[in-house]
């Protein structure tokens, strides 16, 4: 058996840590179970007019001037960060030799018998500029292969009737279907007669020890970590500062918001290995990102996560499964007193979800030999 993994990873706007790490984790997980696999180097259509290295040169019709100025001021940090990301993919991904666009992948000769559409917002038409055929195995090159979705995410589910019918048709490509969020699982089940399974994000299939070989520890110690992603949350920053003052610690912020420098020590250009190191060594974590929650859980940190609008279902879903609902804060909520998380209880729940996820995945993979 050989598996081809397709997802949003190398080509993700904003040099996204979570996007890089979920595919790394999934590949590593399959390796640990002796499954031959490769990540398909897929360049999705939504990236066609976006420059990862020079974002301010991208064609961005909405708020073009504002975004261009933002990225221009991030020019040198982004260059450093871009190089670190490329080195990570070179050193820690096992990818196809060929880079595929959708037209090229459509009729390619693929040397694997199973395709797994893996994790993140691959089924969100709002994130991918409409449904992407590559993320639904909707290509002649994938006919006759075992086709699996693992932890796909839909995100915002307010679909038009036309989009609902398209979604229903695309799901017919799959031999086994799983979705990452509870809400997304329930939504998807309305459009297929197959059973839709709820599974964990690939990063949560691994333990802290499984990331140890790639972690670069920070020079700093005794700090409160803020992972401030896609939406500059000033309430979260104030809460982190409050806790840091109470505990006689400093605040370290991982973000692209250079304008927060007067509040915190802002790390604009860290690589993926450094990102993991900052989570591993943090005393407390404040985040508004799903993968910020995941790595807080993996490294067993006391944390709070903050609302970010339409993207909150992925966070509330995993917190609910692990009985950590109280760790999600709306932005008008007062920060409760910090209490230690009972990670023995959390990991009992996590091991249950890991078992369910593994059972789905290996049952789906075994269809190849059925």
pLDDT per residue rounded down to tens, the chain (370 residues)? 899 999 999 999 889 999 999 999 999 999 999 999 999 999 999 999 888 888 877 776 555 566 667 777 789 999 999 999 999 999 999 999 999 999 999 999 999 999 999 999 999 998 999 999 999 999 999 999 999 999 999 987 889 999 999 999 999 999 999 999 999 999 999 999 999 999 999 999 999 999 999 999 999 999 999 999 988 999 999 999 999 999 999 999 999 998 898 888 999 999 999 999 999 999 999 999 999 999 999 999 999 999 987 668 999 999 999 999 999 999 889 999 999 999 999 999 999 999 999 999 999 999 755 4
Contacts of 23 (CB under 8 A, 6+ apart): 5, 7, 9, 39, 93, 118, 119, 202
The dihedral built from the CA positions of residue 164, 169, 170 and 172, taken in this order, carries a sign that is positive
Cα separation of the two ends of the chain: 12
- Residue identified by tokens 């301010």 is 56
Side-chain-facing half-sphere of 227: CA atoms under 13 Å: 28
Contact predicate 299/208, CB 8 Å: yes
Contact predicate 26/5, CB 8 Å: yes
Q: CA 308 to CA 16: how far, in whole Å?
A: 16
Looking at residue 75, the DSSP 8-state letter turns out to be H
Q: What is the pLDDT of residue 64?
A: 56
- 3-class SS of residue 360: helix
Nearest to residue 155, comparing CAs of 265, 294, 48, 314?
314
Q: What is the pLDDT of residue 66?
A: 66
Contacts of 198 (CB under 8 A, 6+ apart): 178, 179, 180, 181, 182, 185, 356
Nearest to residue 14, comparing CAs of 2, 3, 99, 60?
60
Contact predicate 178/198, CB 8 Å: yes
């Amino acid at each position: 058996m050989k598996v081809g993994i397709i997802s949003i990873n190398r080509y993700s706007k904003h040099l996204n840590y979570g996007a890089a790490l979920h595919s790394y984790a999934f590949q590593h997980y399959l390796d640990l179970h002796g499954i031959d696999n490769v990540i398909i180097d897929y360049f999705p259509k939504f990236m066609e007019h976006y420059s990862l290295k020079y974002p301010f040169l991208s064609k961005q019709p909405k708020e073009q001037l504002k975004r261009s100025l933002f990225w221009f001021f991030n020019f040198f940090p982004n260059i450093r960060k871009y190089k670190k990301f490329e080195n990570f993919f070179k050193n820690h991904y096992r990818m196809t030799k060929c880079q595929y666009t959708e037209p090229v992948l459509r009729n390619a000769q693929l040397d694997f018998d199973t395709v797994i559409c893996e994790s993140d917002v691959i089924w969100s038409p709002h994130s991918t500029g409409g449904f992407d055929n590559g993320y639904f195995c909707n290509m002649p090159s994938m006919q006759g292969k075992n086709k699996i979705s693992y932890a796909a995410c839909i995100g915002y589910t307010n679909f038009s009737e036309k989009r609902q019918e398209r979604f229903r048709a695309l799901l017919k490509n799959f031999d086994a279907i799983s979705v990452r969020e509870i809400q997304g699982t329930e939504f998807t089940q309305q459009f297929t007669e197959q059973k839709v399974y709820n599974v964990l994000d690939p990063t949560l299939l691994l333990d802290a020890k499984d990331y140890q070989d790639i972690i670069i520890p920070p020079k700093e110690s005794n700090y409160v970590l803020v992972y401030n992603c896609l939406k500059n949350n000033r309430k979260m920053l104030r809460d982190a500062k409050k806790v840091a003052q109470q505990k006689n610690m400093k605040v370290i912020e991982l973000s692209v918001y250079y304008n927060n420098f007067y509040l915190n020590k802002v790390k604009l250009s860290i690589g993926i290995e450094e990102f993991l190191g900052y989570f591993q060594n943090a005393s407390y974590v404040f985040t508004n990102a799903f993968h910020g929650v995941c790595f807080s859980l993996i490294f067993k940190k006391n944390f709070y996560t903050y609302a970010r609008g339409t993207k909150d279902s992925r966070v509330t879903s995993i917190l609910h499964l692990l009985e950590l609902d109280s760790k999600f804060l709306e932005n008008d909520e007062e920060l409760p007193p910090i209490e230690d998380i009972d990670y023995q209880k959390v990991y009992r729940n996590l091991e249950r979800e890991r078992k369910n996820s593994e059972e789905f995945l290996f049952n789906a993979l075994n269809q190849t030999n059925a």
